[in-house]
């Protein structure tokens, strides 16, 4: 989570909403990194998770991230949950809950929705939650 937090801080310093993500390969090493880049990339899909998953798929040469772990500072939204399922990420670890748009347990729980035809990933929530939430809180406090 510390590596994902570093990505979040870099995003925040660039004026992006400070969310960071990493993908750990099957060996536990950092395979890919991502941070929000929606504003500067003029891309509504440039969420940290999507960027990290795209990079990991490129590194592996496979659209499925078998054996990998996605670590992200904020609970994924519905779009990101869909990408996680499409990439068959078997494990998701996140920090802060997103009570407005979270799709992994707070508002929705898409990853564990048994109606979907995807393998259900393991979800670990609340890892370094206070630190992850603080980065977001500080970012928005500076803009108000």
What is the domain-level CATH number for residue 103? Answer: 3.40.140.10
pLDDT at 95: 98
* Among 16, 49, 131, 138, the one annotated catalytic: 49
pLDDT at 59: 97
Q: How many domains would you assign to the chain?
A: 1
Q: Phi and psi dihedrals of 131, rounded to 5?
A: -65, -45
The pTM of this model reads 0.96
Q: Which residues of the chain have pLDDT under 70?
A: none
pLDDT at 143: 85
- Residue 40 marked as a ligand binder: no
Residue range of the domain that includes 4: 1-142
The alpha carbon torsion through 95, 103, 44, 83 (nearest 10 deg) reads 90
- Residue 77 marked as a ligand binder: yes
Strands 20-24, 69-74: pairing kind: antiparallel
Is-catalytic flag, 99?
A: no
pLDDT at 41: 82
Q: How far is the CA of 88 from the CAs of 38, 41, 57, 91, 101, in angstroms?
A: 24, 26, 11, 9, 21
């Amino acid at each position: 989570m510390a590596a994902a937090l570093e990505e979040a801080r870099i995003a925040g310093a660039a004026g992006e909403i400070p969310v960071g993500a990493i993908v750990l390969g099957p060996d536990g090493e950092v395979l890919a990194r991502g941070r929000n880049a929606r504003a500067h990339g003029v891309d509504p899909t440039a969420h940290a998770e999507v960027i990290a998953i795209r990079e990991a798929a490129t590194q592996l040469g496979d659209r499925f991230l078998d054996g990998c772990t996605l670590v992200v500072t904020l609970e994924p939204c519905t779009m990101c949950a869909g990408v996680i399922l499409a990439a068959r990420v078997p494990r998701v670890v996140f920090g802060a809950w997103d009570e407005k748009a979270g799709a992994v347990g707070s508002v929705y729980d898409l990853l564990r929705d048994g109606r979907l035809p995807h393998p259900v990933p393991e979800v670990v929530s609340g890892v370094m939650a206070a630190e992850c939430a603080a980065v977001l809180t500080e970012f928005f406090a500076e803009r108000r």
